Amino acid sequence: MKLALYPNSPINNIENIEEIHLVRPINFKMLTKIIKNKKKISMSRSTYERLSKKVKKLLNENNIEINIETHQGRTLKEIEKIRDIVELRRDFRSYREIEKKIGIPKSTAHYLIRYAKRDKLKKGNRIFYL
């Protein structure tokens, strides 16, 4: 099991956790409590860069495996889907109807409708007008 850990998270029941994901950089004192029986810690590249030298040194001395993860949000790669969503909304369709027809969550449809108010989208060097 993997646990997402913030600097202010309680760390009293982490014995059964196999891997810890650091969401934000933590201090030396908190790290000493965590690494007693842990051998895997994951974090983003920016979190790793913001760790103090003292914390990085402690991780190296204890042979803790550090996984740098790069997770980004879902992207909607097909520009045609965005056009379809905009057209359905212009036809006064509800977000629920758009969700069922296109097959994306209604919150994504809402976000894309707001995003599309820009009148144009840029993908690489190409510009698409909506």
Are residues 8 and 38 both part of a single domain?
yes
Are residues 60 and 11 both part of a single domain?
yes
Q: What is the pLDDT of residues 39-85, one digit of tens each?
A: 788 999 999 999 999 999 998 998 888 999 887 665 656 677 888 88
Are residues 54 and 14 both part of a single domain?
yes
Q: Contact 35/62 with Cβ under 8 angstroms?
A: yes
Q: Is residue 74 included in any domain, yes or no?
A: no
What is the DSSP secondary structure assignment for residue 101, as one 8-state letter? H
Are residues 6 and 62 both part of a single domain?
yes
Mean pLDDT of the chain: 83
Are residues 63 and 30 both part of a single domain?
yes
**What pTM was estimated for this model as a whole?**
0.55
Domain count, the chain: 2
Q: Which helix (H) or strand (E) holds 58?
A: helix 53-61
- Count CB neighbours of 61 within 10 A: 9
Are residues 102 and 52 both part of a single domain?
no
